Amino acid sequence: MNESPHVYDVVVIGAGPVGENLADRTRAAGLSTVIVERHLLGGECSFWACEPSKALLRPAVARADARRVPGLRRAAQEPLDLPAVFAYRDKMSGHWHDEDQVDWLTSVSVDLVRGHGRLDGPRRVAVHTPEGQTVHLTARHAVAVCTGTVAALPRLPGLDEAQVWTNREATSASSVPGALAVVGGGVVAVEMATAWQALGSRVTMLVRGNSGILNRMEPFAGEMVVESLREAGVDVRFGTSVAGVARANGAGSPLRITLEGGGSLTADEILFATGRTPHTGDLGLESVGLTPGDWLAVDDTYRVTAVHEGWLYAVGDVNHRALMTHQGKYQARIAGALIAARAKGEPLDDGKWGAHATTADKHAVPQVVFTDPDVASVGLTTMEAERTGREVDVLDYDLARVSGALQYAEGYSGKARVLIDPADETIVGATFVGPGVQELLYSATVAITGEVPLRRLWHAVPAFPTISEVWLRILETHRDRSGRG
C-alpha cells in the first residue's frame, strides 16, 4: 500500500551519530526534518563499534596498567570477571535497544520513519517499512545520506558458509572462543586482538603484508603495539594471507583456515577486520545518476559533486573523508549549519574560523587506538610530510623521562613525536604511544587547529607531575636544537 507523500525541508537517511547530529542541527535552525532508519537508532557506533568495543577493552587495558603499579601487581593477576565484563558491555550498548534514542529524537521534534530508505529521483526518498508499506518523502531543500559503512569481506572459498566474525560479532559475542584468528592489521584488528586475548582467547593475528600494523600511523606506533601484543601472548604473523575457510561439521564446529602458499591453522572463530565499504549498495543511487556501492564524493560543504542543483549531501563515513565517529559528528554539525543557511538564503561564513569551515577533515583528524599501549595521533605523520613534500622538523621524546609517566606506572614505556613547521614554528602533527596518552590528544588537536606558535605554547603550563609535562620537554628539545626559545 502507498501512503500520501510527506514533504519536509530535510530528509536524512541513516540515524547513526552522524544522521542524528545533522537532524538535530537542521531542526534547531527551524527546518522540518525527518530521519529514516531501517535498524537501530544510534547505528554502528552505539551498538557494534565504539561503545561495545571500548567496554570490552577498558578492563583489559586497566588490568595491564594495574600490573605496572606497585601494590597492585598481585591483585591484577586474577582473570577478568567475564560475566561482569559482558554485562557492562551490554549496558553500554543499551542492550541493543534504541528506546532512549527514539525518546531523544522526539524531544528535539525530529520525525522518524522506520524502514529501508532509497533515493527515488531528485529530492525524493521511498521508505519500505517493516509493515510492507511504502512511505514517500520529499525534501524541499536537502536529502542527506548518512548511511556509513559496512565490513568489507574478501572473496574466499567457504566464507559465506563459515559464519565468520566481522566487527559486529566481535563486539557482541558473549562467550569466549578458545582460539580466535584475527585477519588484518588495522585499528579494529589490533583492538579486538587486545580485548579477546585479555578475555581468555588464544589469539592469532594474520597480517597480509610485511610492513607492520597501523600503517597509516608513525611506524614506531605499530612496532610498540606488536611488541606488547606478543608479550601478552598474541601470535602475530606477518606476510600471511588467508586462502579459504571451512567448518568441517557445520555451525559451532572449529574452523580450518587455509593459508596462501600452503599451511593451515584451526580456530573456533575468525574475525575479518579487512576494511570498510560504503553502505550505498541498495540506496537507489541509480535513480539520481550515481553508481550503487560507490563512495559519495563531496565538496567541502558536503554536497555530492556528481549531483546537480546541490540538494544531495553525503555526511560521515560514506563520503570517505575521515572514517571516524567524531569526525562524522563534526561533519554533521557543519553540514547542518550549511543546509540551514542555504535554505534561508543566508550568506555563508567561509572565514577561517567560521561555522562553515571544514578544516578538521584535512588538517587535524584525531584518532585513538585503545590498545596496550594506547596510541593517539593527530595531523601529519612523517610519511605524509614526505609524500606531500612538506618540510617539517621531527622531534621525538622518550615518555619514560617524564615524571608524570613514572608516577603513572613503574617501568613506563612510551614515545612522543611532534612535527613542527620550521617556517612559522607551529605544530602540524603529533603522535603519542604509551599508557594513558589518549588524554594528550585534545591539547595537540587544539595546538594544530589553532596554529599556536611555539612561543605561545611556552605559556601553556603543564601540571606536575602529569604525562602532559611532555609538552614542556618537547619545547625544551626544540629550543636546544634550534637555539630559539
Q: What residues does each domain of the chain span?
A: 6-42+98-150+278-360, 159-274, 373-482
Q: Which of 464, 471, 422, 465 lies closest to 443 in space, CA to CA?
A: 471
* pLDDT digit string, tens, across residues 338-355: 999 999 998 776 554 456
Q: Is the pLDDT at 380 greater than 70, yes or no?
A: yes
Task: Say which residue the cell 500520501 belongs to.
Answer: 4
* pLDDT digit string, tens, across residues 196-227: 999 999 999 999 999 999 999 999 999 999 99
Cα dihedral 319, 325, 326, 329, rounded to 10, equals 60
pTM of the model as a whole: 0.94
Q: Over the chain, what is the mean pLDDT?
A: 94
Task: Output DSSP code: residue 376.
Answer: E
SS3 label, residue 203: strand
Question: Can 6-42+98-150+278-360 and 159-274 be said to share one CATH topology?
Answer: yes
Q: How far apart are CA 110 and CA 102, in angstroms?
A: 10
Helices 187-199 and 219-232 sit at what angle, rounded to 10 degrees? 20
Domain topology for 159-274: FAD/NAD(P)-binding domain (3.50.50)
Higher pLDDT, 356 or 108: 108
Q: Is the pLDDT at 127 greater than 80, yes or no?
A: yes
Is the CB of residue 297 less than 8 Å from the CB of residue 319?
A: yes
Q: Is the pLDDT at 89 greater than 80, yes or no?
A: yes
pLDDT, average across residues 92-109: 96
Looking at domain 373-482, its CATH architecture is 2-Layer Sandwich (3.30)
pLDDT, average across residues 457-467: 96
Domain topology for 6-42+98-150+278-360: FAD/NAD(P)-binding domain (3.50.50)
Exposure letters 237-276 (e unless 16+ CB within 10 A, then b)? eeebebbebbbeeeeeebbbbbeeeeeebebbbbbbbbeb
